[in-house]
């Protein structure tokens, strides 16, 4: 149970509760010997007794205690008292950015303040990376600001509770868990892949977007949907929410690239490019930003080089079961991500058939069209697929995602999703199916002006492929296009049903379609809604 005010814990006298979370509480305490106040983090007894959490907590203190930086909350001591682990650190008399957004800047912070914060946090992260540490949980709630209304606000990065050495690939939980907050986590972190400083850079970029707009990068309540968007969707354009910040979008998109190699070389390189693109700063000399590491940077002085290219848009797909903060990977049937693109205009991907051995390329294979439960390893064969749709594909616009699909009759194919520049057109979205020969099947046009993406997961136990798109309200459930493999390509189902959303997959591994209907009596606004569940019968979805 929480400690009482005035109670003594491990020699520290409790002054008040500062905050609480899933792992324990943080208290303002009086140091037992020195005339100063500190913040004391105390783990719950049940968590303290868990060996994996215990090891992570101890590692947090040991790693963070070695960090000395003006923008990192310092750690002083750690220990155990009456079965509960604790750690003492600097007390910052301020507020975290999550609270600041909610209470003071619900529509987003001033650009100058965000740049000041981003540059300070970037400096702290680069310092930690040079020390061999990743933070792995950069988000507004872990950034503190004090003296906000002065000319020199103090900014601190806190909670290295899931930090670990850069070369630690085993993790600190178990092999079936990934820690971190999914709203800001990099794709490689969500996939449980090796990480470097670019993972923190991605999280800083997602945090920066949140600070500028007042909303998260992918503001969905279902963590599985958020994960899908991180892996598979183009980040929203900053200018759509903040037209005055449209010039910052190139830097932000680069830092939010799906693959680490496509991001900036460091967190500070990202924030300097962001600052250089800010109003009144574009074109200024990058030499003007030279400062000692760890010094606060003002928005006017942190100036970097301008960007000349936009990051390529690639896709990742994941099927996950998610907790509030911990993503449980053990229940995942299939995980897939595309390989890094080759230097030529083709890429090697893998198709799969069941076998008891694995041979051939080391590129992770795409999921089979039928997600059967098996412990056997697949045989991997190579197929060469184009990186882009051919010029005569019938689709125009920018590629936002692609997925490699093993068609039961036609074999391996790459399916591209494209969005046109004019989002109000009825054919603003397009699906292009490309074969290894470079030939494309007939294009599929969609009214997808508000978004287009693969479902998560894209296929289910039926072997069908599921695409979600939005043509109306961004707040309504996405519409569904179901591609059913045939001898000549695909049949299209679901696209003409306006009020249909995807449900599942269920215990049988299959999606269902939930169809909603309004009798519009006496009017559609006052009508009665009824709902029916459509299930796959082998050839169609029926009630």
143-164 tens-digit pLDDT: 999 988 888 899 999 887 554 5
Tokens of 179: 């820690």
Residue 148 located in a structural domain: no
Q: Tell me the β-bridge partners of 405.
A: 413
Q: Is the pLDDT of residue 539 over 80?
A: yes
Q: Which long-range contacts (CB under 8 A, 24 or more apart) does 152-156 make?
A: 152/296, 153/116, 154/92, 154/94, 155/71, 155/116, 155/117, 155/120, 155/121, 155/296, 156/71, 156/72, 156/73, 156/90, 156/92, 156/94, 156/124
Burial class of residue 183 in the structure, from the number of CB atoms within 10 Å of its CB (0-12 exposed, 13-18 middle, 19+ buried) = buried
Q: Is the pLDDT of residue 213 over 90?
A: yes
Q: Tell me the β-bridge partners of 383.
A: 349
Q: Is the pLDDT of residue 531 over 70?
A: yes
Q: Do 352 and 277 lie in a common domain? A: no
Q: Do 114 and 226 lie in a common domain? A: yes
Q: What is the CATH number of the domain that holds 68?
A: 3.30.200.20
Burial class of residue 543 in the structure, from the number of CB atoms within 10 Å of its CB (0-12 exposed, 13-18 middle, 19+ buried) = exposed
Q: Catalytic residue, from 96, 126, 137, 404: name it.
A: 137
Give the domain-ending residue among 271, 289, 307.
Answer: 289
Q: Tell me the β-bridge partners of 503.
A: 512
Nearest to 138 by CA among 195, 205, 229: 205
Q: Do 339 and 473 lie in a common domain? A: yes
- CB within 8 Å of 237: residues ≥ 6 apart: 246, 249
Residue 302 located in a structural domain: no
Does 496 participate in catalysis according to the annotation? no
The mean pLDDT of the chain is 75
Q: Do 381 and 284 lie in a common domain? A: no
Q: What is the pLDDT of residue 480?
A: 86
Q: What is the pLDDT of residue 206?
A: 97
Separation of alpha carbons 496 and 138, rounded Å? 42
Q: Hey, which of 234-248, 285-299, 389-403 has the most confident mean pLDDT?
A: 234-248
Q: Is the pLDDT of residue 338 over 80?
A: no
Q: Is the pLDDT of residue 308 over 50?
A: no
**Cis bond before residue 505 (omega within 30° of 0):** yes
Q: Do 182 and 280 lie in a common domain? A: yes
DSSP for residue 536 = E
Q: Do 396 and 456 lie in a common domain? A: yes
Strands, E assignment, 92-193: 95-96, 133-134, 143-146, 154-157, 164-165, 177-178
Residue 96 located in a structural domain: no
Q: What is the pLDDT of residue 496?
A: 59
Q: Tell me the β-bridge partners of 144.
A: 96, 156
Residue 75 located in a structural domain: yes
For the segment 286-296, what is each residue's pLDDT rounded down to a tens digit?
Answer: 333 333 333 33
Residue 154 located in a structural domain: no
CA dihedral sign of residues 324, 328, 332, 335: positive
Residue 269 located in a structural domain: yes
Cβ atoms 320, 226 nearer than 8 A: no
For the segment 439-460, what is each residue's pLDDT rounded down to a tens digit?
Answer: 888 888 887 766 788 888 899 9
Q: Structural domain tally of the chain?
A: 3
DSSP for residue 527 = P
Separation of alpha carbons 466 and 494, rounded Å? 10
Tell me the residue range of the domain where 239 lies: 109-134+170-289
Q: What is the pLDDT of residue 8?
A: 96
């Amino acid at each position: 149970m929480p400690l009482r005010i005035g109670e003594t814990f491990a020699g520290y006298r409790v002054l008040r509760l500062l905050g609480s979370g899933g792992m324990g509480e943080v208290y303002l305490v009086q140091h037992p010997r020195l005339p100063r106040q500190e913040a004391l983090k105390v783990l719950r007894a049940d968590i303290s007794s868990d060996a994996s959490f215990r090891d992570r907590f101890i590692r947090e203190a040991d790693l963070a205690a070695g960090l000395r930086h003006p923008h990192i909350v310092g750690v002083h001591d750690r220990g155990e008292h009456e079965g509960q682990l604790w750690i003492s650190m600097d007390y910052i008399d301020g507020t975290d950015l999550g609270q600041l957004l909610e209470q003071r800047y619900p529509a987003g912070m001033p650009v100058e303040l965000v740049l000041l914060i981003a540059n300070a946090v970037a400096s702290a992260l680069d310092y930690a990376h040079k020390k061999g540490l990743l933070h792995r949980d950069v988000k507004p709630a872990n950034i503190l600001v004090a003296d906000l209304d002065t000319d020199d606000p103090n900014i601190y990065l806190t909670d290295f509770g899931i930090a670990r050495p850069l070369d630690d690939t085993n993790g600190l939980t178990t092999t079936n868990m990934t820690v971190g907050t999914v709203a800001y986590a990099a794709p490689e972190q969500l996939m449980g892949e090796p990480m470097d400083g670019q993972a923190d850079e991605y999280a800083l970029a997602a945090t920066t977007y949140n600070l500028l707009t007042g909303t998260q990068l992918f503001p969905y309540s279902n963590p599985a949907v958020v994960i899908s968007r991180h892996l598979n969707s183009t980040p929203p354009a900053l200018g759509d929410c903040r037209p005055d910040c449209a010039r910052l979008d190139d830097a932000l998109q680069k830092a939010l690239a799906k693959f680490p190699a496509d991001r900036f070389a460091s967190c500070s390189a990202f924030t300097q490019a962001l600052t250089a693109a800010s109003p009144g700063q574009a074109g200024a000399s990058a030499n003007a930003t030279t400062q000692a590491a760890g010094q606060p940077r003002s928005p006017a002085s942190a100036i970097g080089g301008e960007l000349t290219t936009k990051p390529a848009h690639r896709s990742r797909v994941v099927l996950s079961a998610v907790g509030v903060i911990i993503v449980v990977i053990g229940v995942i049937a299939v995980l897939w991500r595309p390989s890094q693109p080759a230097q030529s205009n083709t890429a090697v991907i893998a198709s799969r058939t069941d076998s008891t051995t694995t041979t051939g390329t080391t590129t992770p294979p795409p999921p089979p069209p039928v997600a059967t439960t098996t412990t056997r390893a697949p045989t991997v064969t190579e197929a060469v697929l184009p990186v882009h749709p051919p010029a005569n594909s019938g689709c125009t616009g920018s590629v936002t995602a692609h997925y490699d699909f093993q068609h039961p009759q036609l074999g391996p194919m790459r399916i591209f999703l494209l969005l046109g520049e004019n989002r109000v057109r009825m054919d603003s979205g397009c699906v292009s199916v490309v074969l290894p020969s470079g030939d494309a099947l007939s294009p599929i046009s969609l009214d997808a002006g508000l978004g287009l993406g693969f479902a998560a997961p894209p296929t289910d136990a039926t072997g069908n492929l599921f695409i979600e798109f939005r043509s109306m309200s961004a707040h309504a459930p996405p519409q569904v296009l179901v591609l059913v493999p045939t001898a000549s390509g695909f049949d299209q189902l679901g696209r003409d049903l306006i009020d249909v959303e995807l449900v599942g997959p269920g215990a049988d591994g299959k999606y269902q379609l939930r169809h909603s209907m309004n009798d519009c009596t006496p009017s559609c606004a006052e009508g009665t809604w009824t709902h029916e569940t459509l299930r796959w019968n082998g050839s169609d979805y029926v009630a």
